[in-house]
Chain A
């Protein structure tokens, strides 16, 4: 499975590592919904660190699409909300 960390690039992550990452993802989502900036920062850095640890950098010249995409490391809750809105941060 290919996971992209925005601003950093793509990682190949083995499927068996996904369970742990999904837990962290759920924590991240809960923090966004609760608007809890501290919990959000902890969950995000845990999740990104997890991907970097278990993942292997995907070749830079491949044109493969990512299965999952994660916010950049210094993102705020507001920025993630904008990412999720259709006309948000992503340049069309």
Chain B
């Protein structure tokens, strides 16, 4: 027997088993309708769960992209200071993040597909449940035992098949979501620990990392100082002149640089 017909036979026998449960056929209809409504709300919850997972992955992608941008900026600063070694270090870390990001994006696409499938399943089930409800009321209104049994069988088997299908779809979506949540949880922990979010804290004992950090904060200080000088200068033309010479001015005023350095660090997240 063909595979297609074997699968449909299995579905049919399941639907028939469900049909045998109540003695009064009208009770069977109500019982089945209740189960349909339960299944519908389960699908809705399923759609919401998948959407939650998808948003979580989206948030993680945003966070990791922020970290990657930070590393890129650090690499650029390092190069400006002629420290190719530090730039290389920053770019190496950025490329490790890039593979995480592309993994997450693939997961995101998968979750989105799952969400669309479940949403469509929900719409199909909804249409069938509504049509079942109408048919159920008609059958109950015109009830004569012999006639009703046939019509109940017809209505039940069609909806039973849909319910079996939707039930499986929910199960699959739940399995996939559970796998992804486990991975997402691991990445959340990494982000919370600061290892991904702040590159300077991935091996805090690493000399290169500390140097990269201190050099970028020095550069920040110089830029900040130049800006402050520009702002506090009473006349605009002086401010424009002051900015490019910031380095020299700093060299002449080491004490001032340190004090600004402290406030600047405090101000950083």
Contact = CB atoms under 8 A, between A and B. Distances in A.
A and B physically associate: yes
A19 interface: no
Contacts of B169: 6-7, 72
B185 interface: no
Interface stretch (B4-12, B75-83, B231-239, B257-265): B4-12
B18 interface: yes
Interface in A70-92: 70-72, 80, 83-84, 86, 88-92
Ranked nearest first, the 5 interchain pairs of A and B with the lowest CB-CB distance are A63-B158, A91-B167, A68-B4, A60-B127, A69-B8
Given A29-B2, A90-B164, A91-B168, A63 B131 contact: yes
B154 A63 contact: yes
16 contacts: A4-B161, A7-B117, A7-B121, A61-B128, A62-B158, A63-B135, A66-B11, A66-B161, A67-B8, A72-B169, A86-B10, A86-B13, A89-B168, A90-B11, A91-B163, A91-B168
B8 A66 contact: yes
A65 B160 CA distance: 9
B11 A69 contact: yes
Given A61-B130, A92-B17, 12 more contacts: A6-B169, A7-B165, A9-B120, A65-B154, A66-B11, A67-B5, A67-B8, A69-B4, A83-B10, A88-B10, A90-B11, A92-B18
A55 to B, nearest CB: 13
Given A25-B3, A61-B127, A92 B159 contact: no
A32 interface: yes
Interface string A11-34: 000000000011001101100100
Contacts of A89: 168, 171
A63 B132 contact: yes
Contact of A84 (B6, B12, B163): B6
Interface residues of A, number: 35
Contacts of A90: 10-11, 14, 164, 167-168
Interface string B126-160: 01101110010000000000000000001101110
A72 B80 CA distance: 56
A68 to B, nearest CB: 4
B92 interface: no
A86 B157 CA distance: 17
Contacts of A88: 10
Contacts of B8: 4, 66-69
B123 interface: yes
A89 B170 CA distance: 12
Contact of B3 (A3, A29, A63, A64): A29
A49 B167 CA distance: 23
Given A25-B4, A68-B5, A60 B128 contact: yes
B10 A32 contact: no
B88 interface: no
Contacts of A68: 2, 4-5, 7-8
B124 interface: yes
Contacts of B2: 22, 25-26, 29, 68
